[in-house]
Structure 1
Amino acid sequence: MDGQRVFGFARPQREPSTEDKLIAAALQIFAEEGIAVTSLRSVAKFAGMSAGALQHHFPTKDALVEAVDNHVLQIIADNLEPAVQEADYTTVTAGEGIVQLMANHPIAMDYLKRVLLEGDVNSGVGQVIFNGLAKISEMQGRRFQDLGLMRDDIDFLWSFLNPIVLRVGAIVLRQHLERFLPGPFYDREQLDRWDASVTNLLQHGALVQHD
């Protein structure tokens, strides 16, 4: 990636502020209840402060939503960007980054589901995140092509879109998947099992097999 950041965010190093705590509270209630139906008053109550105190930091709901969006982008960048910069980035590396992201930030993943399903596909944080994931997946596919690892009969467009379907689809369908799982999907044991299956499927479905 030549040092270029896919999502365009690098987390600042500082102690959590009151604004950070409000963003964390808003993230949780937005993820659980939905953005459209949640008021600033509801967020303030959830955070244990008055609506006036919240509006001192975020005068409007749009300002708070934007702050939450940026926070989620930073979380994703923190977990996925370092691996993308590695020269030997592979399907295994990609899976490890996503597993770490899901295991450490389940609320952010539920928020991601919200913005992907409820947001405008032509703008907003959902589009930014999906485009970033597509860029990472396409970059990986190009690398496999350059190394002669991609099968000749593979449709290249779908070769980098299908991994997104498999990985992001699990986030969107998590609650349905959990009806079939012996434990919560975001537990590390279940995530590792899921990632191994997806990685195996991608490697054996799209890449040249060597004896």
Structure 2
Amino acid sequence: MNHSRHEAFLRNVWYTNERTKHFQFQMSNGHRFEFRPGQFISLDIELDGRKIRRPYSIASAPRADNGFDLCLNMLPEGRVSSWLFNLKPGDKIAFSGPFGFFSLREPPDPVSAFIATGTGIAPIRAMLQHLYSRPHSSEVWLIFGVRTENDILYRQEFERMAEQYPDFHFVPTLSRPSPGWTGHTGYVQRHVVRYLAGKKGLHAYICGLRKMIDDVAHEFRAMGYDRKALSYEKYD
């Protein structure tokens, strides 16, 4: 794949909650951008005369329109996230990529388990879009941990998938649930053990902060899974 510099313009953007935005970009001048679901780009910007580079996971599968999505939080002291949040449709970005080896195995395993927290859902969403763009025979689990109900990014999209595909199991879990929440609670580690113990032919894709990934990997090893059954992307 070509890791050279590219240019794209912002086609659309919206808030997914009060501190997270979803960005839809389109390649400029009809240039092709080829990537594998799960990979990331390196955004190149200049602020106050200083060149800054930041990695961001692509939040969509490859599309016929040659576009791609990003999903990111506004960080309190984040100069780059502030710059991105101020972009308007038509504004351009420069980036290089794609990079990374966190991608869907081909052919998919008999059981494909996706575990994410926060914006770690971005590359997982890309993989799921790709997985369900063609026939497959996998049993698929998505265990998604966030703090509050408002933090369940792409909730309606995943709920529709669960209704449409009997083999897709969506398990959102909240660490700070409201009194009215009737779904799963606690950290993803608990539900990894509850739903995935004893699954044969499993491969797990894990994305989020280092501590969560280390804890989930520990649970998988305790259940007897080989480390080769795990793929992960750490965000810190």
TM-score > 0.5, shorter chain as reference:
no
- Based on CA coordinates, which of the two structures has the bigger radius of gyration? 1
- TM-score category by the smaller chain? 0.3 to 0.5
More strand by share: 2
Higher relative contact order (Cα pairs below 8 Å, separated by 6+ residues)? 1
TM-score, length-scaled by structure 1: 0.33
TM-score, length-scaled by structure 2: 0.30
